[in-house]
Amino acid sequence: MCGITGWVSFHQDPTRQAAVVEAMTATLARRGPDGAGCWLGPHAALGHRRLSVIDLAGGAQPMADRPQQPAAVLSYSGEVYNHHRLRAELRRAGHEFRTRSDTETVLRGYLEWGDSVVDRLEGMYAFAIWDTRRERLLLVRDRLGVKPLYWAEVDGGLVFGSEPKALFAHPEITPRVDADGLREAFGLVFGTGPTLWAGVRELPPGALLTLDRTGRREQQYWQLTARPHTDDRDDTVERVRSLVNRTARAQLEADVPLCSLLSGGIDSTVLTALAADELRLAEGPGARLRSYAVDYSDQAERFTQDELRTGHDAPFAAEAGAHIGTDHATVVLDPRSLLDPAHRRAVVECRDSPIGVGDMDTSLFLLFGRIREHSTVALSGEAADEIFAGYPWFHTPAAVRARTFPWLLVTGDEAAVPLEPGLAATLRIPEFRADTYRDALAAVPHLPDESPTEHRQRELQHLALTRWLRQLLHRKDRLSMAQGLEVRVPFCDHRLVEYAFGTPWALKSFDGREKSLLRAAATGLAPDSVLHRPKNHYPATHHPAYNSGLQAMARDALDAHHGQVRGIVDANAVKATLDTPPEQLTWGHRLRLERVVDLALWLDHHRPQLTL
């Protein structure tokens, strides 16, 4: 896992401006603490920061197919899990390899198959290939969007990078935010393409972009489709079991220590059990996988059920670790560490955005930092809720009937940042959400003669997989890579996603609750208490000291930056939340304050030009 960046211009010669691509590359140092490199050509420059995971000695980048007069040069981030099979196929076609890395497999795969190499890759990745023969750039992003990739136009070409901050290091790109960008940010519709930053675009998941002297073209090489499902219940459960087993075991290759995130839910427990079993098969019966959970110093005494959390995670995680036989550790955080301004600034800096989930972002960032002391790769259960209908909104009649994005119903107006009235009139967030929702439903594929229930559930799952999941993957990528930790997400295997998306609702919910198929497929892998536990979201602290500290930070934030915050936020509407007794703050009210604080930190760090 790494950070990539680059600059292509048919009007300029990057070899005369090496300092530009070097500066772009340096912004991604936290993503790649183990090495840095740049390649310069007459019309292209590629940069790379490396987090060494496979072939520690041989995988340096940018990578050229040969030292002199290369045909193609690659800057690559991610993991291709089927690279051994592809390498064998390429060897039979006459290719010779200098390294063991999956990076070289991708490069030589391009030389053999051209752009269609993307159809053969299984994994998470974002990469750029400069074809010197054709003077042509290829940008590629994985099917589910696990790895990020941004780009923007410059004179005679474009710049790209794993994060927007890499683009801002180019002299032609200014961190500027207009009304459209704020609409994307505060609308919480989680689209792909336009971003918070004016002129900066995100390459969609499952897409590729090419640039040559004839122009720029973007196309989808993968997207969800509706397919008839012919398997009965038993066959469906067995197929799910086989797919989950295959993808979990395929994602364990690493030349560095690997661990698992174990929350005590069914998703992470299944992956941890399969990974631990594979480790014992490879290294012997005494081998033990490390596993990690997060907890708060007040959680055992102060846990309070809310709309997202049904129970205290840590005991379930410990039970699951004991059942599987892992070396389990719980990272315990206190209010002081969560409120530490340095930690909060680091989180906002790595997000490049004022929109997050407050203490849950800070705690995840700190958890990843602790994990990185012992491991470089971690497995995570992200995407199982989207694939197997784990969220309440799939099952609650009011949410199913609602004509809006279902996640907007979870906390309602409590968590929304109240905008300054003039800005609110300009942005017209409700209309933007309604228009975007209508467009999102129009993109959902359907089968003929679907029942109304089937039709609606396919819509909800498509929204979850193409929008809600994307912001979760962004969060996981930014916060983990900021600590130099690679997080793999086996449930994002595209074959598993395709199969689950095509499975009828009656099978997805055959036992009358969430994750019916995964629960059935996981029999024997998890303790019964975990197997039948209700869905529980990522934990949050309940300590009044945190709430009061947050209120103080929010008061300071409102007065920061010569009134800029008050130019965006309706301070009068926030005041009631600031005056609420700390012990009475709801999670939604608290999230509102978190976003006010993060807005001030974002303005302070990024210094954006606001053109509203």
User: Could you write out the DSSP letters of every residue in 394-434?
Assistant: GT-HHHHH-SS-TTHHHHGGGSSPPBPHHHHHHH-HHHHHH
For residue range 323-360, what is the model confidence (pLDDT) as tens digits?
A: 999 999 999 999 999 999 999 999 999 999 999 999 99
- When pLDDT is cut at 50, 70 and 90, the band that residue 258 belongs to is very high
Q: What is the pLDDT of residue 481?
A: 97
Question: Where do we find the tokens 């199913």?
Answer: 400
Ramachandran area for residue 146 (φ above 0: left; ψ -120 to 50: alpha; else beta): alpha
Q: What is the percentage of the chain residues whose pLDDT exceeds 70?
A: 98
Residue type, 99: T
Residue 81 is encoded by which pair of tokens?
Answer: 């899990």
**Whether residue 574 has pLDDT greater than 70:** yes
E strands within 237-395? 258-261, 290-296, 327-333, 377-379
Per-residue pLDDT, averaged over 57-79, amounts to 95
Per-residue pLDDT, averaged over 568-572, amounts to 93
Residue of 559 and 489 predicted with greater confidence: 489
- When pLDDT is cut at 50, 70 and 90, the band that residue 1 belongs to is low
- Measure CA 283 to chain center: 31
Q: What is the pLDDT of residue 541?
A: 86
Q: What is the pLDDT of residue 310?
A: 76
3-state helix, strand, coil in the chain (%, to 5): 45, 15, 35
- When pLDDT is cut at 50, 70 and 90, the band that residue 410 belongs to is confident
Strand order in the sheet with 44-50: 35-40, 44-50, 2-9, 157-161, 150-154, 201-202
Query: Residue 10, exposed/middle/buried by CB under 10 A (0-12, 13-18, 19+)?
Result: middle
CA distances (Å), 105 to each of 102, 122, 289, 311, 395, in order? Answer: 5, 12, 29, 45, 44
Instruction: Provide the H-helix boundaries in 27-178.
Output: 83-92, 102-113, 164-168
Give the β-pairing of 44-50 and 35-40: antiparallel
Among positive and negative, which fits the CA dihedral 504, 506, 507, 512?
Answer: positive
Question: How high does pLDDT run on average in the chain?
Answer: 95
For residue range 233-243, what is the model confidence (pLDDT) as tens digits?
A: 999 999 999 99
- Cβ atoms of 458 and 446 closer than 8 Å: yes
Per-residue pLDDT, averaged over 515-526, amounts to 95
**Whether residue 414 has pLDDT greater than 80:** no
- When pLDDT is cut at 50, 70 and 90, the band that residue 299 belongs to is confident
DSSP at 305: -
Question: Where do we find the tokens 């640039």?
Answer: 211
Q: List the single range of 21-30, 312-321, 451-460 with lowest mean pLDDT.
A: 312-321
Q: What is the pLDDT of residue 412?
A: 67
**Whether residue 532 has pLDDT greater than 70:** yes
List all residues 6 or more positions away from 267 whose beta carbon is below 8 Å from its beta carbon.
381, 384, 385, 390, 491, 518
- When pLDDT is cut at 50, 70 and 90, the band that residue 411 belongs to is low
For residue range 215-234, what is the model confidence (pLDDT) as tens digits?
A: 999 999 999 999 999 999 99
- In 3D, which of 475, 483, 590 has the Cα closest to residue 540? 590
For residue range 370-407, what is the model confidence (pLDDT) as tens digits?
A: 999 999 999 999 999 999 999 999 999 999 999 999 99
Whether 2 is catalytic is: yes
Q: What is the pLDDT of residue 448?
A: 95
**Whether residue 415 has pLDDT greater than 90:** no
Q: What is the pLDDT of residue 537?
A: 84
- When pLDDT is cut at 50, 70 and 90, the band that residue 413 belongs to is low
Q: How far is Cα 480 from Cα 154, in angstroms, rounded to an integer?
A: 30
Q: How far is Cα 474 from Cα 338, in angstroms, rounded to an integer?
A: 21
Q: What is the pLDDT of residue 317?
A: 95
Q: What is the pLDDT of residue 309?
A: 76
Q: What is the percentage of the chain residues whose pLDDT exceeds 90?
A: 89
- When pLDDT is cut at 50, 70 and 90, the band that residue 116 belongs to is very high
DSSP at 273: H
- Cβ atoms of 101 and 48 closer than 8 Å: no
- Cβ atoms of 365 and 347 closer than 8 Å: yes
Q: What is the pLDDT of residue 7?
A: 98
Residue type, 502: G
**Whether residue 308 has pLDDT greater than 80:** no
**Whether residue 568 has pLDDT greater than 70:** yes
Per-residue pLDDT, averaged over 111-134, amounts to 98
Q: List the single range of 166-180, 302-316, 367-381, 455-469 with lowest mean pLDDT.
A: 302-316
Torsion of CA 103, 109, 114, 117, to 10 degrees: -80
* Catalytic residue chosen out of the listed positions 2, 38, 259, 492: 2
Give the β-pairing of 258-261 and 377-379: parallel
